[in-house]
Structure 1
Amino acid sequence: MLRYLYTASFVLLTTLSAAAQNVEFSKDEFKGDKESLKNAQKELKEANSWYETDPPRYEQALPHFLAAQQVNPNNAQLNFRIGHCYLNSTYKAKALPYLQKAYQLDPQVDARIRYMLGRGLHLNARWEEAIAEYKAAQPAAGSKNATAQQNDIRKKIQECEAGLALMKTPTRAFIDNVGTAINTPYPEYGPVITADESVMLFTSRRDGGVGDEKDPFIGGYFEDIWQSVKGKDGQWQAARNLGPTVNTKGHDAVVALSPDGQKLVTYVEDGAGDLHEADLKGSAWSKPGSLGRRVNGGQSHESSAAYAPNGRMLYFVSNGSEESSRGGHDIWRLDVEGKGKAENLGSVINTPYDEDGIFVHPDGKTIYFSSQGHNSMGGYDIFRSEWKNGQWTKPENLGWPINTPDDDVFFVLSASGRHGYFASSRDDSQGSRDIYMITFLGPEKPPVISSEEPLLASRAAPVRQTLLAPAVPIATAQVTILKGTVTDADSKQPIEATIELVDNTLSQTIASFRSNSQSGRYLVSLPSGVNYGIVVRKEGYLFHSENFDLPQGAAYSEVVKDIPLKKLDVGAKVVLNNIFFDFDKATLRKESTAELERLVQLMTTEYPALRIEISGHTDNVGKAEYNKDLSQRRAKAVVDYLTAHGVAAARLTSAGYGDTQPVAPNTSKEGRQLNRRTEFKVVAK
C-alpha cells in the first residue's frame, strides 16, 4: 500500500512539475510591469535578510516573502522558503501547498525538499503520504550527518505510524473558546487553574501590561501574567493583570498554580531560564523568589513545574544533571521540605527525547506531561501515567484529537476530570491564539484544525486538532475537593488559619495549608483511600476538627464547609469529630490517636491552666438510660486517655448526656450521625 502511494505521489508531482514553469524575478519575465518587479525585489531583499540571519527570523521574513509571492506565485525557491517559514511558525500546516508547488516548479529546488514535503504532509495528518516522502528523503550513503538524518527520518516515520493507529480510535471531546473575558486579539496561552476551576492564571502578550512595551527582537508585547475568576453564574470574569510585584517590564510567564490557588510558579528568563515562586497574601501576590539551586541549575533550563496536592512535593522539568538525565529535558521530583536532591522520575516516564509541561492531578497519583518520545504522533504529545504499587504505569497517549502531529504541551485538568484547558489558534479565536476548554464526552461538534505559535517560556508550541468520534469511557476522578471559608465565630470576619491534613490511620500529619488572610477561603484536595482528619487552628481560638473517611475508589465530589472558629472563652464548645469508638462500646479506636494527642498538646503545652469538660452524646435510638450510660463511659474513656498522658485529673471532668442535647433532628441518618458525638467545653482558663 505504501509503495503504491509513493509511486502515485511521485507520478503526480512529476506530471505537475513538467506542466509548471519556474519564473525568475528578472526583467525578462516582467517586461511589462517593472514597478511590480521592483517592489517584489525589495520585499525579497528584506525577507532574505531575516531568513538568512543566524538564527533565522522566520516570523519576520514570512510577510515579505508572501508579498513577493503575490507578484510572482511561480518561483520555486520563493515557494520553498515560504513553506520553510510556515514550518517554523504558528501555522505549520499551511506549509504544505507552498512546498508542493516548489517541488512542482523545480524538483531540485533544495536538497531538503522531499523531507520538507514529508513534514508538511505529516503536520496535516496525511500519515501514509508523509511516510512515503520520508522514505524518499533518505540521505545518500556517506553524506555528512547521514546517521543523524537517518535516525531523524526513522523517528518521523514511527510518529506517522503512531498517528495512523491512534486516529483509528479517537477520544470523544469538544473544544470551546473560553470567551472574550480572557481572550483578546493578542496571544494568550499557558493556562493554569485551581482544582475547582474557580481561578485561572495565564500568560498573555497583550497591551496594557506592566511595561506595555514591545520586544524588539521578536515583535509583539512582552509577556505578562493575568488572572480571571469565575462568577456566581459560572462564567469567567474580565481578566486582570497581576501587577508589578509579579510582572516586570520583561517577559513573565506562569507555569504552575497550587490546587488551592495560594502559590504560583513563574518562568523567568535569567540566564538559561529559571523557576520562581510567589505566595498569595490576602489579595496580593508576593514578589517571586527563586526556587533555589535544588531546582534551578546554573546553566540548566527549567521550563515547567507542578505542585503535588499535599504541597510537599514539587515536580519540575530541567535539562540539568547529565549524569542523572535520560536525555534532553527530563521530569524531576523534589521533596521541598527535605534536604535531599531532586529525583529523576526514571526511564518509564523520561525518554532520550525531551519531556515538558508537567501537571499533577489533584488526586495525587496521576500525572500528565508532554513528551517527544513514547508513541508520540509528532512533536510533543500529552501523556498520562499513574502511581501504582510503588511505580509509574506505562505512559498512555491521550490520543487524537487531543494530540496532533505538532507540539501539544501545557495541558491542565480540573479535579473532576471533566474539563481540560490549553491554548490554540482556531477559526473562532479572537486573534493570534486563545485559551480553550476541552469537555470530555461532550456532544458532537464539527471538526476543526488549530495551531499555536512558539511560547517564550519554552521551546514547545501547542498545536491541537479536533475530530469527534463515538464516546469512550473516562474514569471518574477519585478525589474530593473540600473548600469554604474560615471565620471568627462571633464577628463573622474571615481569618487566616492553619489547616492540617491528618491520616487518622497512621496518626500522621500529611499536609498543611493556610486559609487566605483577606477572604478566609481555603481549598484542600483529598485523594480517595484515606481516613482524613481536618484540623483548623489559630492562636487564641479553639481548634476545629472534621472527619472525611474516603474509601479507595471514592468518586469525585465537592464539599463546601464553612468553619467558624471559636475564641478560647469560658463556655465555648468544640465537637471532636475525629474521636472514634467501636460500635456500641466505649473502646477508643486507634484512628482517634491524632485527635487525642491534639487535646494533650492543647492542655499541656498551649494552655496549661485550661480546665475542660469532656461530654458524650448519642442519638435517640434505643433506651434513654442505656444511651446516657454509654455516653458517660465514652466521655470517661477520653478523660482516662488524657490523664494517662500527663493532664492533671483535677483539670478534667466527664459527663454523659445521652440523647438530651441533640444538635440536629433525629429524623434522618445524617441528623443522628451529628448527634452521636464527643465534645469538650471550656470550664476555666
Structure 2
Amino acid sequence: MPAEPACMLKFVIGNKLSSKQKMRKYTVILIFLLSVTYSAVAQKKYSVKSRKAIHYYEMAAQHYRNRDNQQALDKLTKALEVKSNFIEAYLFQADVYHSMKNTELEIHAYLKAIEIDNDYFPRVHFNLGNAYLKLGKYEMAKGKFEEFLSFSKISSRNKAKAMKQIMNCDVALRMIANPVEFNPVNIGKAINTENDEYWPSLTADEEVLIFTRLSARMNDTEVKLEPQEDFWLALKDEDSWRPAQSLSESINTASNEGAQSITADGRYMYFTACGRKDGLGRCDIYYSLREGDQWSKPMNLGPVINSAAWEAQPSISADGRILYFVSNRKSGKGKMDIWKSELLEILPGGKQRWSKPVNLDFNTSNNEMSPFIHASNQYLVIASDGLPGMGGYDLYKLTRKDDQKWSEPVNLGYPINTFADELGLVINASGDKAYFSSDRLEGKGKDIFTFDLPLEHQPPMVSWLKGKVYDVETKDNLYASLQLIDLNSNDTVAKINSDKVNGEYLICLPAGKEYMFSAESEGYLYYSDHFSLMENKEQNKAQELNIGLQKMKLGSEIVLRNVFFDTDSWEILPKSESELYVLYQLLIQNQGFVVEISGHTDHTGSEEHNLKLSENRAKSVCDYLIDKGIHKDRLLFKGYGSSKAIADNRTKEGKALNRRTEFRIVNIKEDQ
C-alpha cells in the first residue's frame, strides 16, 4: 500500500515514469544522499581500518544504489559485527531506515553513532532532531537542533534551517499546551472500507458525498496488483449514508483519478488525472459535468491551467467561477504553490476558458498544498510545510479581508494538526463541521472522519436555495441561468445554470447580506426574488424554491421584488439598480414590447394617498428607464393603491408583499 495517494504526492519522484526512468531517477537521488551524508566515504577515508568491515560497507552502498534496502542493511550489520565502532555504518543505517520511513530505527542508528563520537558528523544532530520531530517528540527535537547550532563550522543555510525547526518546536509545544476541541467520528462503513478512502467533497446541502478510493487492480502485463484510484459517490438518507457506488465509467479509468472538488450543487467536478493521452504534464486538471444522472466525458482544462509541470488538487468555488489549484511550475515562489484562476467563458462544446493563473501571496519557499475554498468564498484552508507548525504538513485557515486580499495563515491548532501530515480538509456550507481523511485514528487504513469545527475556526455561515425551474403552463423542466447579486455592492455573488435534464438547481446564500436572486430562460420573462440574510444564523435557514417562468406573451407579468423606496416616498433607492438594469436589458432585447409599470401599496393610510403614492412610484420606474434610453411610447404607468392585494394586510409579512412594483406586457409590436 503506497504511503500517499498517487494523485496527491507522487510528484516527489514523478508520476507515470517508465521503470527505467524511475530507476535512473532513484539512482541519482540515492547517490546524492550518500555523497551529502557521507563526504568522508566519498573521499575513501573511514574511521576504521578493517578491510573486511569496509568491504561489507561498500557492498551495502552498491545494494542501496540498486534500491535493495534489506540487502544493504544486512551488509551493514555484518560490517558492524566486524567493527562495532564503525560510525559510518551506523550513519548509513540511519539513512537506509530514513528512506524506508522507519523513524524509530533511524533514531536508534543515530544514537549509536553519537555514542561512538558526538562530534564526528555534526549534521547527525540536525537529522536526529528531524527524526524526533516526525514522532512528535518536540522537547528532544529542540535539544538536538540546539546542539547542532553549538558547532562552529556549520553553514548559514543549515543554521537558518535549525533555527526554523526550533521555532516549530516552540510553536508545537504551545499548541499542545492549548489544544482546540477535536472529537472526530468515523463517517461509517457505508463509505469507509478495508481500502483507503480520502479527499471528501460535499454538496452544500450535505446530501451528496464524492470521495477518492484507493484499491488494487491486476496489471495488464504482469501478474501483480497495482494501486488504483477512482471516484465513489454516496447519497444521504436523512441522517445516514447509503452504501457508496462507483461514480461513473466515463470518468473512472485504468489510470489514476483523485483529489477532486465539486461545485455546491454537485454538478461540476474538477479533479486530478495522471498519465492520460491528452495530458500536458505528469498530472493535469480535468472537469466533468453532470446532467441528470450522467457525467460527461472529462475535458482537460487546457494549457492556461495545465502545463508540462505538475498540476493537481483543484478546489472550485461554490458556483464554479474561481479555481484554486496546486502546481510546481517554474514561475512559482516555492516547490509547490497554490494558484488561482477565474472562469472567463464556456465555449461551444463545453470547453472552458480560464484566466491566466495568479500565484497567491501566502505561498512560501517550501510547499503549499490541498487548498479548499469554502462556499462563502471568504475562507480558505491550505496545507503547508513552510509555515510555523507541528512538523510536516499542517492545516491553516485564511480569511478574506475588506480589500479582498487574504489574511495571514492561522494554524488550526492541536490536535487537528499533529506531527504527521494533515491534508485534504473540507468544511460544510454551514461552517460548523469539517471532513477529512486520516490513518492516525481508529479505522482501517485511511478513513474519512468528521468533527465539529471549533467556533474560533468556523467560516461565515452559508445557507442555500434549491429547487426546480419549470414552465408555469406546461410544467416542463427548463434550462435557466440563475444569479445572486449583492444589492449593496451590485456585485454578482454567484452565477449558475439549472440542470438541462431535470431543471434542478442549488445556489449558495452567504449570510450577512441582501440579495437579488433571478432566473432567466430564453423565451421567458425572468423571475426575481429578494433575500435578506442580515439577521442571526438561526434565522438564515436553507430553503426550497421551485420557480415557474412565464413565456413572453401578451398579458405576462412579474413582480419586481428588488425595487425599493423609503417609507411614504417615491424616490428609488440605490439598491434597486440591479433589478432595474435587468428590466432595462429585457426591453432592449425585445424592442416590440410595450409594458405597464404598476405600483401597489398595503392598506395603511387613506385610499387617495395610496393611489397617489403608488402612481408616483410607478412613474419613477418609467422615468428611470426613459433616462436609460427606453422610448417613452413603450412605457405606461399606473397606481393601484391597495386595491390589488396579493397577501393578508393584517400581517407584517403580508403587508410587505402587497407593497410592490410590477410590470406587464400590454402590447407586442410585430414590426419591431
| Same topology, TM > 0.5 | yes
> 2:467 maps to what in 1?
484
State whether residues 432 and 458 of structure 2, in contact with CA within 8 Å, keep that contact through their aligned partners in structure 1.
no
> 2:287 maps to what in 1?
277
1:437 matched to 2:445: no
1:188 matched to 2:197: yes
Residues 426-466 of structure 1, C-alpha deviations (whole Å, 9 max, x = no match): 5532x22111112125xxxxxxxxxxxxxxxxxxxxxxxxx
Q: SS of the residue aligned with 1:672?
A: helix
d(CA) in 2 for partners of 1:57, 1:140: 35
CA displacement at 1:674 relative to structure 2: 1.5
Further displaced range: 75-84 or 547-556: 75-84
Residues 493, 676 of structure 1: CA spacing in aligned structure 2 closer, same or farther, 3 A cutoff?
A: same
d(CA) in 2 for partners of 1:284, 1:602: 34
> 2:501 maps to what in 1?
518
> 2:134 maps to what in 1?
123
Q: SS of the residue aligned with 1:206?
A: strand
Residues 50, 487 of structure 1: CA spacing in aligned structure 2 closer, same or farther, 3 A cutoff?
A: farther
d(CA) in 2 for partners of 1:353, 1:221: 28
Residues 666, 235 of structure 1: CA spacing in aligned structure 2 closer, same or farther, 3 A cutoff?
A: farther
1:201 matched to 2:216: no
CA displacement at 1:222 relative to structure 2: 0.8
Residues 224-261 of structure 1, C-alpha deviations (whole Å, 9 max, x = no match): 11122222x13222222222211211101133222332
State whether residues 374 and 459 of structure 2, in contact with CA within 8 Å, keep that contact through their aligned partners in structure 1.
no
* Corresponding letter in the other structure for 1:320: R
Choose from 587, 592, 595 the match for 2:579.
Answer: 595
1:234 matched to 2:239: yes
d(CA) in 1 for partners of 2:221, 2:512: 50
> 1:26 maps to what in 2?
none
Residues 87, 382 of structure 1: CA spacing in aligned structure 2 closer, same or farther, 3 A cutoff?
A: farther
CA displacement at 1:535 relative to structure 2: 1.4
State whether residues 122 and 130 of structure 1, in contact with CA within 8 Å, keep that contact through their aligned partners in structure 2.
yes
Q: How does 1:54-133 map to 2 (within 5 A)?
A: 56=67, 95-96=103-104, 99-100=107-108, 118-119=129-130, 121-133=132-144
> 1:72 maps to what in 2?
none
* Corresponding letter in the other structure for 1:377: M
> 1:411 maps to what in 2?
425
> 1:222 maps to what in 2?
228
CA displacement at 1:474 relative to structure 2: 4.7
d(CA) in 1 for partners of 2:224, 2:420: 22
1:424 matched to 2:434: no
> 1:672 maps to what in 2?
655
Choose from 359, 373, 381 the match for 1:344.
Answer: 359
Residues 645, 116 of structure 1: CA spacing in aligned structure 2 closer, same or farther, 3 A cutoff?
A: closer
Residues 74-129 of structure 1, C-alpha deviations (whole Å, 9 max, x = no match): x999999999888668xx7x843785499579966998986665455433322112
Q: SS of the residue aligned with 2:184?
A: strand
> 2:568 maps to what in 1?
584
CA displacement at 1:538 relative to structure 2: 0.5
* Corresponding letter in the other structure for 2:138: W
State whether residues 383 and 394 of structure 2, in contact with CA within 8 Å, keep that contact through their aligned partners in structure 1.
yes
d(CA) in 1 for partners of 2:95, 2:225: 20
1:264 matched to 2:269: yes
* Corresponding letter in the other structure for 2:334: G
Choose from 617, 627, 650 the match for 1:634.
Answer: 617
> 2:9 maps to what in 1?
none
d(CA) in 1 for partners of 2:630, 2:503: 33
Choose from 160, 172, 177 the match for 2:186.
Answer: 177
When the two structures are superposed, what TM-score results if normalisation uses the length of structure 2? 0.76
> 1:24 maps to what in 2?
none
Residues 519, 357 of structure 1: CA spacing in aligned structure 2 closer, same or farther, 3 A cutoff?
A: same
CA displacement at 1:499 relative to structure 2: 0.7
Q: How does 1:132-531 map to 2 (within 5 A)?
A: 132-135=143-146, 152-206=161-215, 219-231=225-237, 233-270=238-275, 271-298=281-308, 300-309=309-318, 311-322=320-331, 325-337=332-344, 341-346=356-361, 349-390=362-403, 391-426=405-440, 428-429=442-443, 431-441=444-454, 473-474=456-457, 477-507=460-490, 509=492, 511-528=494-511, 530-531=513-514
d(CA) in 1 for partners of 2:142, 2:581: 67
Aligned residues: 580
Residues 531, 275 of structure 1: CA spacing in aligned structure 2 closer, same or farther, 3 A cutoff?
A: same
CA displacement at 1:188 relative to structure 2: 0.7
State whether residues 379 and 459 of structure 2, in contact with CA within 8 Å, keep that contact through their aligned partners in structure 1.
no
Q: SS of the residue aligned with 2:542?
A: strand
Q: SS of the residue aligned with 1:567?
A: coil
Residues 274, 625 of structure 1: CA spacing in aligned structure 2 closer, same or farther, 3 A cutoff?
A: same
d(CA) in 2 for partners of 1:215, 1:179: 36
Residues 83, 252 of structure 1: CA spacing in aligned structure 2 closer, same or farther, 3 A cutoff?
A: farther
The runs of 5 or more residues in structure 1 that have no matched partner are 1-47, 69-74, 442-471
The runs of 5 or more residues in structure 2 that have no matched partner are 1-59, 78-83, 276-280, 345-352
> 2:26 maps to what in 1?
none
State whether residues 205 and 220 of structure 1, in contact with CA within 8 Å, keep that contact through their aligned partners in structure 2.
no
> 2:548 maps to what in 1?
564
CA displacement at 1:215 relative to structure 2: 11
State whether residues 213 and 249 of structure 1, in contact with CA within 8 Å, keep that contact through their aligned partners in structure 2.
no
Alignment root-mean-square deviation, CA: 3.9
CA displacement at 1:477 relative to structure 2: 1.6
Further displaced range: 251-260 or 407-416: 251-260
State whether residues 614 and 639 of structure 2, in contact with CA within 8 Å, keep that contact through their aligned partners in structure 1.
yes
> 1:44 maps to what in 2?
none
State whether residues 481 and 496 of structure 2, in contact with CA within 8 Å, keep that contact through their aligned partners in structure 1.
yes
d(CA) in 2 for partners of 1:86, 1:484: 57
d(CA) in 1 for partners of 2:608, 2:198: 66
When the two structures are superposed, what TM-score results if normalisation uses the length of structure 1? 0.75
Choose from 587, 590, 610 the match for 2:593.
Answer: 610
Residues 453-489 of structure 1, C-alpha deviations (whole Å, 9 max, x = no match): xxxxxxxxxxxxxxxxxxx645562444333322232
d(CA) in 1 for partners of 2:449, 2:554: 54
Identity of aligned pairs, percent?
Answer: 31
d(CA) in 2 for partners of 1:140, 1:133: 12
